[in-house]
Amino acid sequence: MNPDEIEAVLQIAFIQCEALLCPLTDQQKQILLQVFTESVTRESLKSLANGNQEGEGANPLDELMPEQRQALLQFVKEQEKLDRPWKIKLLNDWLHDRNSGTVQFIRDEYGPQWLNRVKPVHLAQYFEAATSSDGLKLKVGDRIEVSNALWEWVQENGPCSREWFPCTVVRLSQGSDSSDSYHNGIIRFDNGTEYEIQGICEWNRYNWRYVSD
């Protein structure tokens, strides 16, 4: 990441802090920007010196020890249940020099560059592998891919096979019937077209997946 990219990421974090009613002062923002820039630069130089070039498809969670990965996934689940962005919680801890408990190792051993690499798709890979995808909640603004199986008949080996189309979640709402509750979602494709998916988190979960962009 270059300085402009770091600043752009932090500006998003600052906005989310304000949305959570914990805005940062200008001095705190400058300190955080300086610390992140120095840390990312140091880690980038170290990576180049070691010739350790990451593959684009690599999952950063693969780099963790099993007990570290389990601690992070549990932390994410706990924050999701409280409707708190887990990355913002960590950033606030780092900014105020607070211990992050079971995930303090992320700050001590991996730093902000590693944290920035972690995307919803990476977490979903582990949650789904453990049949615990309920630990990661779909949110407005998430980038996902949806399958054409939502609007046409497809077969794995037939003439009309499954295809995936990138889009953004622009709205989520809860519906219900006489026996159960479910979530509906409205997605927006890159060409501006919108499409509603009923049961997006329940019976249609098979028809979408997270993307890393």
Token pair for 27? 């001095």
High-pLDDT (> 70) share of the chain, %: 76
Beta bridge partners of 164: 147
Torsion, Cα 67 98 77 1, to 10 degrees, reads -80
Higher-confidence residue of 25 and 52: namely: 25
Q: Where in the chain are the domains?
A: 3-135, 143-210
Q: How far apart (Å, rounded) are the C-alpha atoms in residues 149 and 166?
A: 14
pLDDT value for 54? 47
- Segment 146-160, tens digit of pLDDT: 999 898 888 766 677
- Segment 110-149, tens digit of pLDDT: 988 899 899 988 998 888 765 444 557 888 888 999 999 8
Consecutive H or E run containing 164: strand 164-176
Q: Using an 8 Å Cβ cutoff, are 135 and 118 in contact?
A: no
Q: How far apart (Å, rounded) are the C-alpha atoms in residues 129 and 119?
A: 16
pLDDT value for 3? 60
Q: Using an 8 Å Cβ cutoff, are 187 and 170 in contact?
A: yes
Which band of pLDDT confidence, cut at 50, 70 and 90, is reported for residue 51?
very low
Q: Please name which of 197, 195, 196, 202 lies closest in space to residue 181, comparing C-alpha atoms.
A: 202
Cα distances (Å, whole numbers) of residue 105 to 30, 43, 99, 123, 182:
24, 16, 10, 17, 37
pLDDT at 198 over 80: yes
Strands 208-210 and 181-189: unpaired
